[in-house]
Chain A
Amino acid sequence: MFRAGSSGTVQIRPVSAIQVEKLTQRFGAVAAVDDVWLDIADGEFMVLLGPSGCGKSTLLRMIAGLLPPTEGRVLIDGVDVTHAPPQGRDLAMVFQSYALYPHLSVARNIGFPLRARDMPKRAIEAKVADVAAALDLAALLDRRPRELSGGQRQRVALGRALVRDPGAFLMDEPLSNLDAKLRAGTRAELSALHDRLGATFVYVTHDQIEAMTMATRIALLNNGRLEQVGTPEQVYDEPASTFVAEFLGTPPMNLLDVTLRSGVATAPGVTVRLDLPDRDLILGVRPEHLQLTTGDEAMLRGHVTRVENLGSEEVAICAVGAATVRVRARRPIGPRAGDTVALRADRFHLHLFHPETGRRLVPLTHQEISCVS
C-alpha cells in the first residue's frame, strides 16, 4: 500500500537520533516515568513496550515536547531540546485516536503541517498528491474524516506525518483501533515504510507481536522504569527480569521458585541439576522449550489439567506441585487432561532469576552466580 512517491526521486532526508537522559515525570506522588535513560540511534525502529499505565505515552509525549519533564533531558542530534516547544523539534506524531482535524478534508488534513510552514500552494498540492498516492488515499482526498473507515483514518494520520519528511516519527499505539486482520497488514506496511524511509521511529505499543515483528530494538517499561532495552531476540532469549520473561511470549515463560542445595534445584515436582552454589532461585523455562520425556532426565513431574488448542499447536497446562507449568508443542501434543507427564528442557534454555529482585542471574563460573546489571 505504501508505494514510492510518484516523483520517484530519492530524497535525502535528515534523520534524527534521540537521546533521553534521566527523564522523569511525576504526577503528584506518582512517578509515571522514572529515571529513564535511552539512546535511540538514527534510523532505528525503537518500540516502547509495556503494560497499560506503565508510562509509555508519557515518555513519548515528553520526547515530543508536549509535556515538560519533571527532571532529565531530551537531546535530538545532540542538541538539548528539553525546553523547546514541539514545533522546534522536527518530529511528527501519529496519535492513537489519529487526531484528524474534523473540519478539514483529507487533502487539507495531510497538507496542514505544510501550510503551517507557509509553503507555496502548488508545492503543497504536489506533496499531498504524492503522499496520498503512496498511501492509497488519492480517491478519498475530498472526504471529511468522519466519512472514512478506521483503516483509512489511520492512513490519513500517517500521511499527515509523512508529508513533512520529519527527522523522526513518534507513534502512540497507531494500530490499536484497527481490527486484527488490518493490523497484521499494516504492521508489515509500517516495517516496509521504515525500511524505505530510513527514518527514526519511536513506536509505543502494549502489543508484544507488534514489538517483536517491527522493532529493531525494544525498550520494555514497567511502572515507569526501564526494565530492558535490546533487540527482539535479546529481550526474548535473555530477559533481564521476571517481568520481561512474563511479558513476552504466549503463553509467557514458566517461573518456578526453587531451592538449590548441593547441585540440585528442588521444589515439589521439580528436580533440576545445576552445578552452582547453594541458594534460592527462580527457575524460568519457556513453554516451547519443554519436552515430554520418559527417562530419568525428567526435570518436572506433574499431571495435565487441561489442553488448549491453538490450531497448529497445543498448550498443555500442567500442575507441578503447587505451580502451573505450560508446555507448547505441535498438535497433537500427546497427553490429555488427567495424564501424568514428565518434562525436560535443554540446559541452555533454563533462565535463572533472583528470588527477591527478579533480575536475571548468569553463572559466571561454576562457582558463582552474579546479578546482571
Chain B
Amino acid sequence: MTTKVSRQVSGHVVLGTLGVLCVFPIYWLYATSLRAPGDIGSLSPLPWPLSLDNYADAWRTIDLTGMLVNSAVVAVCTAAGQLLVGLFAAYAFTVWRFPGQRLLYLLFVGSWLVPFQVTMLPNYVLLSRLGLLNTIAGVIVPTLCSALGVLLLRQHLAGFPRELLEAAAMDGRSSWATLWTVVVPALRPVLAALGILLVINAWNEYFWPALVLRDNAMVQLGIRSFMGTEGNDWGPLMATAGLACLPVFALYLVLQRHIVNAFVRSGLK
C-alpha cells in the first residue's frame, strides 16, 4: 500500500520536475523581458519592478510591425502551399494506380529523410540565380513541397472510404470535382488541424529565413539585431523573442484539442 502511494508520489515528482524544466526557459524569457533595463542581469526569480521599457526599446529599434506581418505571411503561405501540394499528391497517390507509383512515393518519403543541410546550399544557389535572395518569396517557394504534409495526408486519405469516391464518380463528378466536393469537405477537421501544425512549423523556422533574408525582415530574425560583437542587448532581445512566441502560444491555446487530434489521428506522436 505504502509502496503504491510512494510510487505515485515519486511519479508525480518526476513529471513535475520535467514540466518545470520545460517551462522554466520560457518563463525566464518573459521574466527577463519584463525587467527594468537596469536589472537585466538580475537573477531574482520574480522581475520587480515590472517594466515595459524593453518592449518599447525593441519597438523603436526595429520595425516590429512589418516583421510580424512578414512572418505571418511566410507562415500562412508556406502552410497553405504545403497543404495544397500535400493534398494533390496524396489524392493522386491514393486514388490512381499508375506505373512508377511506389517508386515516386518512396522518393517523397526519401526527400523527407534527407537532412536540411544537404539541400540548403543547392537551394541557396538556385535562389540567387533566380534573383529571389532577400525576398519573402525566396523563403516560401523552396519549402512549398513538404514531404511531411504528403505523408500525413496520404495516411488520412488511405483511410478514406473508397466507396465515397466511387459514389461521386457514379453521381457524375470528375475526380477534380470529387476532390473539392467530397474529399476536402469530409476531411475538413483533418485539414484544419494539419494546417495549424504547418503554420506553427513554418513560424518556428529560423535557419532558412536567416539564410535567405539578409535584412532581418521577419520577427524571428529581428532578434539578431540585438546581438552584436560588443555583446548582446538582452532586454529588447528577450522582448522580441517573447513577441515572436506569442502567436504560436495563442494558436495553441485556442486550438489545443485540434492540434493534439491531428497528431493522434495521423498515427504520429
Query: Which residues of A are in contact with B by a Cβ distance under 8 Å?
Result: 61, 64-66, 85-87, 91-93, 95-97, 99, 101-104, 112-113, 116-117, 160, 164
Contacts and interface: CB of A to CB of B under 8 A. Distances in A.
A98 to B, nearest CB: 8
A93 B173 contact: no
A160 B166 CA distance: 14
B163 A86 contact: no
Contacts of B185: 101, 103-104
B50 interface: no
B170 to A, nearest CB: 4
Interface of B: 161, 163-164, 166-174, 177, 181-182, 185-186, 188
A359 B172 CA distance: 43
6 smallest A-B Cβ distances: which pairs? A116-B172, A99-B167, A113-B171, A99-B163, A103-B185, A93-B170
Given A103-B185, A103-B186, A116-B177, A64 B161 contact: no
Nearest to A172: B163
B186 A99 contact: no
A275 B266 CA distance: 72
Contact of B167 (A87, A93, A164): A93
Nearest to A113: B171
Contacts of A91: 170
Contacts of A87: 169, 172-174
State the majority secondary structure of interface residues on B: helix
A99 B163 CA distance: 6
Nearest to B170: A93
Contact of A99 (B161, B173, B177): B161
8 contacts: A66-B170, A86-B169, A87-B174, A91-B170, A99-B161, A112-B171, A113-B171, A160-B167
A65 B166 CA distance: 10
Given A95-B163, A116-B177, A101 B186 contact: yes
A314 B253 CA distance: 69
B116 to A, nearest CB: 37
B188 A113 contact: no
A116 B170 CA distance: 10
Contacts of A116: 171-173, 177
A70 to B, nearest CB: 14
A117 B167 contact: no
Nearest to B163: A99
A332 to B, nearest CB: 48
B186 A117 contact: no
B164 to A, nearest CB: 5
A39 to B, nearest CB: 23
Given A99-B161, A101-B164, A86 B186 contact: no
Nearest to B174: A87
Contacts of A99: 161, 163-164, 166-167
